[in-house]
Structures are given as structure tokens and as C-alpha cells.
């Protein structure tokens, strides 16, 4: 069983015409897993719907509590990219679990989105890596302790 927690972020942004803006909508991942014919046992829980720039310490603590309380040994967290590294560091103390974080630079609702690729990538990482916390982005696996987002390059970089 893989426990998937969604927190919002760019991956879940959709355009609302009545508001003339994009906002975080329902989690994209359940439709995505069904449409890609994914058969690995999993369940999806939406913890919050926030841009990761708006996450505060209480939000990160809530994510940590939910992950720690899960009876699953393998946890996937979708998250905005801007503060993914910070949340990853908060999750670092949880023992005995493989925790993989991913997200997207372009919303899943957009044609040129990296969301499907990244979720596919993260779903394999969470099944194969030993316990620990990982960021799965840009086709690479990063340690949140030593990683930063390079906004201009639209990528994560190991320091």
C-alpha cells in the first residue's frame, strides 16, 4: 500500500473563468493514476490546497503528523515546488518510511505539463528506494538537505 498525500501546489492549479484566474483545484493525481492504468495498491488523501509559498510552520507540522501517522511504509507527497525542500527537511526525522516528494513546474491541466512524468517518476522511486526522504524532480532523485530550487532554470539542483 502506498499512501499518497496531496497538499496543493502548481500541479493542481486549474483555470476558473468566473474568477479570471488559476486556483488550486481538486487533486489531479486520482484521475492521472486511473487514466494511466496504474494498478499498484494506493490511497489518496488531500491534506490541504495551498500554493507552497503560503505554507507555514503549522502546515508543515500537519503534513509531518499525517505522514508519521500513516500505517504505510511508502509515502508519496505532492507539493508546490517553491518550498518542497523546506517541507522535506521537516519530514526528515520520520523513521522507517520511504517518503518521496514531487510536484510540477506546469499544472497538470496544461498541455505542456511535467506532472504526469513527475508522478510516474516519483511512484517508481517510492517503491524502490530505502527509508528516507527524497525529492523526485527533473528525472532525478535529490536529498532535501542539500538541494535548492533554481527558479530561473526551472529545476532542482544538488548543492
Query: Does 146 participate in catalysis according to the annotation?
Result: no
Comparison of 14 and 62: residue with beta carbon closer to a copy of itself: 14
Comparison of 13 and 60: residue with beta carbon closer to a copy of itself: 13
Q: Which of 10, 83, 102, 147 is catalytic?
A: 10
Q: Cell 513546474 belongs to which residue?
A: 105
Angle, helices 84-91 vs 57-69, to 10°: value is 50
Comparison of 82 and 143: residue with beta carbon closer to a copy of itself: 82
- For 62, 107, 122, the CA distances from 68, given in Å and listed in that order, are 10, 28, 19
- In the complex, which residues of this chain contact a copy of itself (CB under 8 A)? 10, 13, 15, 17-18, 20-22, 32-33, 35-40, 51, 53, 80-82, 105-107, 109-112, 114, 116-125, 127-129, 136, 138-141, 151-152, 154-155
Instruction: Count Cβ neighbours within 10 Å for each residue of 6-43 and write b for 16 or more, e otherwise.
Output: bbbbbbbbeeeeeeeeeebbebbbeebbeeeeeeeebe
Task: In angstroms, give the least distance from the CB of 106 to a copy of itself.
Answer: 6
Residues tagged active-site: 10
Amino acid at each position: 500500500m502506498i499512501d499518497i498525500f496531496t497538499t496543493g501546489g502548481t500541479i493542481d492549479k486549474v483555470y476558473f473563468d468566473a474568477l479570471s484566474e488559476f486556483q488550486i483545484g481538486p487533486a489531479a493525481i486520482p484521475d492521472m493514476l486511473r487514466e494511466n492504468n496504474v494498478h499498484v495498491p494506493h490511497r489518496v488523501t488531500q491534506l490541504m490546497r495551498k500554493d507552497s509559498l503560503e505554507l507555514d510552520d503549522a502546515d508543515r507540522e500537519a503534513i509531518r503528523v499525517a505522514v508519521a501517522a500513516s500505517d504505510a511504509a511508502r509515502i508519496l507527497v505532492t507539493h508546490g515546488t517553491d518550498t518542497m525542500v523546506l517541507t522535506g527537511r521537516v519530514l526528515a526525522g520520520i523513521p522507517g518510511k520511504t517518503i518521496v516528494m514531487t510536484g510540477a513546474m506546469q499544472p497538470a491541466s496544461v498541455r505542456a505539463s511535467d506532472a504526469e512524468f513527475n508522478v510516474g517518476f516519483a511512484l517508481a522511486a517510492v517503491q524502490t528506494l530505502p527509508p528516507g526522504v527524497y525529492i523526485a524532480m527533473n528525472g532525478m532523485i535529490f536529498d532535501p538537505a542539500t538541494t535548492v530550487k533554481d527558479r530561473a532554470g526551472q529545476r532542482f539542483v544538488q548543492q
